[in-house]
Structure formats: structure tokens, C-alpha cells
Structure 1
Amino acid sequence: MQLDLNLLTALDALLEEGSVAGAAARLHVTAPAMSRSLGRIRHVTGDQILVRTGRTMTPTPYALAVRAQVHELLHQVHGVLAPSRALDLTTLERTFTLRWHDSLVAVSGPALLTAVRGQAPGVRLRFVAESSVDTPELRRGEVDLEANASRPSAPDIRAEKVGEARLVILVRQGHPLTRAETLTAQTYAAAEHITVSRRGNLSNALDDTLARLGLTRRVVATVPTEAAALAFARDSDLVVTLPETATRSAVTDLGLDALPLPFELPAAPVYLSWHQRYETDNAHTWLRGLAREALTLSGTP
């Protein structure tokens, strides 16, 4: 029997998306064409792969067992067939879409853009906002490179830890916390706080640390961006706790005071993430190197 590599690509998409429609959209084919591919895969494997349960499709035990293997096989195929032409940055014309945490865009974005423009003037960068929910754009190729504190768990997403961000306290000048003889975990927790969360969460890992100390802070509001949180802190007695790299300009431009946390808290990791399809892409590899350097020069690690 002759092996059709297109079926391997279709199987990978079906297992990742969990539906015919999702796999069709990912591979830019019609739903009927993907249905035919699923039929051929079922014939070749002797397994249903996806079975309907109510309104959704559920992978079979066999499909779950081979999912990681399918990912790896497809990755190896792409590596073998990928073109090995030398990269000419002076003539490269390409647009990269980057979904980074907004603080990383503010701190490291300018350095990255300067480096890109200096080496490849035909390259454009699209920085897009993070979503409030988990989205598949990285897998679908709609986002080229992510940078945030979350390490992806999907087997087809590559990730590299490029640094850490230490948290500090930001308050307005003259805030009661700045007048305390000794800032303690108790006085910190007793203040009123504002958090940053695109999902509207009123608690995060910092609250878990306080809970282990027997303390609970009072979070009175949450906002989706750090810029908004800093504005609240500037105009009120609210306390905001953010990565140190995001606070440097705020201390100068907004007249805020930065205070160290009065208790031990592990630094937040910073990860670069990309889909495995770009692992051997010369232009993408070049961009990852510049992004890594930009984050390092900005003091993230």
C-alpha cells in the first residue's frame, strides 16, 4: 500500500482540532474534502479516529495513543522536505505576527523592531493583543511567535524560557505604604489592590503565596492591561503589583514609587512559543534569535 503524506497532515489536523470543520479551516480546504480524508484515514487505520458524542467529536483511544507520534512524524517530514536555501535578509519581504504580553511589547518591542529594521528592511511586525481565552492561532499559523508567562502544553508547540520577571509594588508618591517604617506582608495585604487580568480574574499566583502565609489581600478591581492599572494606582491609593521590567518608565513618566515585595515570591518565567512547522524555517529562526536578544537586553532575564 502506498503511503499518502497528505493523510498524515489531515490526521494531525483532525486530532488537534477535534472536528472536521476545524481541521478543514486549519488546512484551508473544504469540509467535504476533509470528510473524505477522514474516511480514507478510517479505511487505512481500521479505526474511527473521531466519533460523535452529542454535538462534539471525541477521539478514540487509538487516536489518543498515536497523537504525539503523528505530531513527531509530521515534524520529521517537514524537516526533511524543508528548503535549505540561504536566507538573504536584505531582500526578505515577510510580515510576522507576534502575540506578546503587553508589558513585553512595551519593554522589548522597540529593541526588536530596531534590530529587524536594521537587518531586514522588508520585514514588518504585527504585535497583536493577547486574547482573554485560549485560542488556536499559533497552531493555525495566524500567530508566528508568542511571548508570555505560560508554557504551552500542546505537543506541536515549541517553547523556550528566555527570562524571568521579578514582581514589585507600584504606588503613588506619598502612598501610606511608602511612609511605613517597615513594609511587612501584613501591611501589604491590608492595602486595597488592583490586578491585571485579560480574563477578569481577581486572584493569581501571588494570592496563593499570601494564603500560605495565612494572609488574604483585598482586590477591589481588575483591569485588562498594565497601563490601565498604573493609571488607577497613580490617581488613588490602590496598589498594583507588576513585573519590574514593566515599571521602569512608569516610575519616571507617571511619578509612581516602586517598592520591593516584603515576602519571597518566585520570579515569573517568560517563554517564547512557536509552532513546530517553523522549527526549521530560516526566517523564523532569525526572528526568534532577535526576539531572544531583545528580551535579554531589556533586562527580562
Structure 2
Amino acid sequence: MGATTRNIDLNLLTALDVLLDECSVSAAADRLGLSAPAMSRTLARIRTAFADPILVRSGQAMVPTPRAEAAHAEVKAVLERSRALFARDRPADPARLERTFTVVANDLLAGALAERLLPRLRRSAPGVTAVLLSEGPYPDDLVLREGAADLEVRVITAPAPETRIEPLLVDEMAAAVRPGHPLTRAPLTPAALAGALHVVPSRRGRLRGPLDDALEAVGLRRRVVAAMPTFAAALQLVVASDLVSQIPARTGAPLVAALGLVALPIPLPLPPIDISMGWHPRHDHDPAQRWFRHEVRAALCGLAPAAPGAAVRNRDGAPRPATGPAAPAAAPSDPSRALPPRG
């Protein structure tokens, strides 16, 4: 017989949430601090309450039943609402908090965020775990509505009506090249940029972008020779060749520095990159969620401007030329260095 509203136990919902996260009785037991037999007994109670197997064997793994999959997002929502109800006016205590927060971001933002966020968490909230997921083909609102992530940090262009949006920072595109690249010999011009060979980061394999529109507006076109699924993959090609890639100047600064690359101002009017934080309204009043949003905000809003050589704009928004003594005009890229050497 299934459960009635009189005998529903919120502890069972907590256990169900963890079981569906882990799809493993032993892993769920570890996470909840229970023994494996105790977790098995809890799963049996959940199965009785839901009149459903919840988890079934598939080869060597356990997989959720269709009903369990369909209920998982609502289970998370009920738990979030109950936590917010009991702790609405109570601030979070980071030092005692034991919780996992999930953030969706592209590889560049994930790296920039983690580099600044994780030290903050280690100092103030050692029991907190941050999980950063890559962007996927699913709609933005579905990720938050179904509880797959607590936050999205990205360019949010068409949020669902219920999604809460908070702007975090404005970035701009720069051109990433290897040290000694022909384009580094003089302030970059649109013609020199168009004359280089390009690799574009695009998880959907798109070869065109705002830079192409800006170049065409001044009668120029560029040649894109490859599209890579992540910024990191695109920059790996840039390291060992004369290829040029685009990268957001602020959020890309840590990766540019780690790879020993140079970020050059792009002397064309490109749209700004407005990076925001999005979350589902069920997280509005959860003290732990509010605290975590503060930590993400502090980590990203404190991101230093790009290092010297990266894109910088004047107060009027026009690109500022690179400083330093004038150099000879950039020579055309050597075709022999246009692509990485073959292994």
C-alpha cells in the first residue's frame, strides 16, 4: 500500500533524493552516514511508500524507474522548500554546512570560477563540495527547474519567466595568439586579423559569430579552419601554431596565462559579453543557497581585468591600442606554422 499524507516522512524524501543522485545503495549510505544494511532498509520503506521499485538492476548498475526519474525534480523541490521553511530567518553557518552545490558553466567560466571559489570554500566551508557541469544541449530553464543544477553562470539570453537572473560581470572578446606570433609585432588591425587563420570555440560547431559580422561591416572576411568544442581545446591549437582564437578577456585571463599565450585587443565594435547568474525561485529563501550565491558573486566579481596585452577599452567603449613603441607592420602569417606540426 502506498503512503498517505499522514505518514510521509521527510527523511525518506532526503534518502530518496540521495539514492537517485547516486544510483547506488552503498554510495548513498556513505553520503548519509548510514550503514549499507540501514540504507537497504530505507530503500525498502521508500519502495513501499511509493509502490514502485525506485531503483532496478541493469547489468552491473542500478538505474531509476520511470516514475522515480519523473519524481526526482519534485522531490528536490519539496526538500528545498522544507529547508527554506524551517530556516527562513536563520543565516547559514558555512563552517558547519555539509552540502553539494552544482553550477553549470562553460569550461572557461568553470575554470575561472573554481580558481577563485574553491579557496574561499576551503577557508570558510570545508564541508561544502562544488560540482561544475559543462553546458549541454538542454534548455537553460529545464536545468534549473528539474534540479539538475543550483545555479547557471553564463550568458543567459532567453531565461524562463520564473528564472531569477543577477548580472555578474561584463566581458569582451580578445584575440588569443602564441608569443611571437606575427600579429604581436604591431597594434592589431582589422585587416591583419582577417588575414590570419582562425580556430573557433563552439560546442555546437558554429563557424560564424559576431566577429564575422564586424569584419564584413568593414569589407573583410576571415578564414576559419576549425571549430573546437571548448575554449581549452581551441587554445591548445593556438599554443603550437599561428592560428588565432577568440577568448573573453577577463574570464579567459587565467587560462591565457597558464598556457603562456597573449591576448590582443580586437579593434572592432563587438557586442559585450554579459555574464549572469541564474537560479530557480525555490532557492530564493534557502539560507545555504543565498550564502553560496554570495560566494559565487564575490569570486567572479573580484576577477581581475585581463593582464597587459589583453583587450582593454577606453571610457567611450572604443578599443585602446596596445601600448609601447611602434613596431614594423605585421607580416602575413607563415603558412608552415598555420597548423600544429604533425605527430
**TM-score after normalising by structure 1:** 0.69
Match of 1:125 in 2: 130
Aligned position for 1:272: 277
Structure 1 SS opposite 2:126: coil
Determine the structure 2 residue equivalent to 1:27: 74
Q: Is the 8 A contact 1:171 1:233 kept in 2?
A: yes
Q: Give the unaligned 5+ runs of structure 1.
A: 1-19, 29-76
In structure 1, which of residues 143, 148, 159 is the aligned counterpart of residue 149 of structure 2? 143
1:48 is matched with which residue?
Answer: none
- Report the CA distance between 1:85 and its aligned residue: 4.6
Is 1:211 matched with 2:211? no
Q: Is the 8 A contact 1:132 1:198 kept in 2?
A: no
| Structure 1 position 79, deviation (Å) | 12
Q: Is the 8 A contact 1:95 1:125 kept in 2?
A: yes
Superimposed CA distance per residue, residues 54-104 of structure 1 (whole angstroms, 9 cap, x where no aligned partner): xxxxxxxxxxxxxxxxxxxxxxx9999574251232322111111122112
Q: Secondary structure at the match of 1:90?
A: helix
Gaps of 5+ in 2: 1-66, 76-80, 307-343
Match of 1:162 in 2: 168
In structure 2, relative to structure 1, the CA distance for the partners of 1:275 and 1:220 (3 Å cut) is same
CA distance in 1 between counterparts of 2:270 and 2:107 reads 22
The CA deviation at 1:215 is: 2.6
Structure 2 CA distance for aligned equivalents of residues 176 and 88 of structure 1: 54
In 2: Cα distance, 1:249 partner to 1:293 partner: 17
Q: Distance in 2 between matches of 1:208 and 1:78?
A: 50
**1:98 is matched by which residue type in structure 2?**
V
Describe the shift of the 1:251–1:116 C-alpha distance in structure 2 as closer, same or farther (beyond 3 A).
closer
2:171–2:251 contact (8 Å) kept in structure 1:
no
1:268 Cα offset (Å): 0.6
Q: Secondary structure at the match of 1:130?
A: coil
Query: For the residues of structure 2 that align with 1:80 and 1:26, how far apart are their CA atoms?
Result: 17
Where does residue 173 of structure 1 map in the other structure?
179
Q: Distance in 2 between matches of 1:149 and 1:230?
A: 21
- Which amino acid in structure 1 is aligned with residue 178 of structure 2? R
Compare 269-278 and 120-129 and name the one that shifted more.
Answer: 120-129
The residue aligned with 1:111 is 116
* Percent identical: 39
CA distance in 1, matches of 2:131, 2:121: 12
Among 186, 189, 203, the residue aligned to 1:184: 189
Distance 1:124 1:182 in 2: 44
Cα distance in 2 for partners of 1:275, 1:97 equals 13
Alignment of 1:230-241 (within 5 A): 230-241=235-246
Q: CA deviation at 1:297?
A: 1.4
Structure showing greater Rg: 2
Return the offset for 1:264: 2.3
Is 1:84 matched with 2:88? yes
CA RMSD of aligned residues (A): 3.0
Cα gap change, 1:21 to 1:118, in 2 (>3 Å): closer
The alpha carbon displacement at 1:247 in A equals 4.0
Q: How far apart are residue 210 of structure 1 and its match?
A: 2.5
When residues 83 and 251 of structure 1 are mapped into structure 2, their CA distance, relative to the original with a 3 A threshold, is closer
Q: CA deviation at 1:22?
A: 9.0
Once the 2 structures are TM-superposed, how far is the Cα of residue 239 of structure 1 from its aligned partner? 0.5
Per-residue displacement from partner, 1:159-181 (whole Å, max 9, x unpaired)? Answer: 111101121111122222223x4
- Equivalents in 2 of 1:156, 1:300: separation in Å? 32
TM-score (norm 2): 0.61
How is 1:57-96 mapped onto 2 (pairs within 5 angstroms)?
83-86=87-90, 87-96=92-101
Structure 1 position 257 matched with structure 2 position 304: no
**Structure 2 counterparts to residues 13-24 of structure 1, below 5 A:** none
In structure 2, the CA distance between the partners of 1:187 and 1:112, relative to structure 1 (3 Å rule), is same
Q: For 1:107 and 1:116, how far apart are their aligned partners in 2?
A: 15
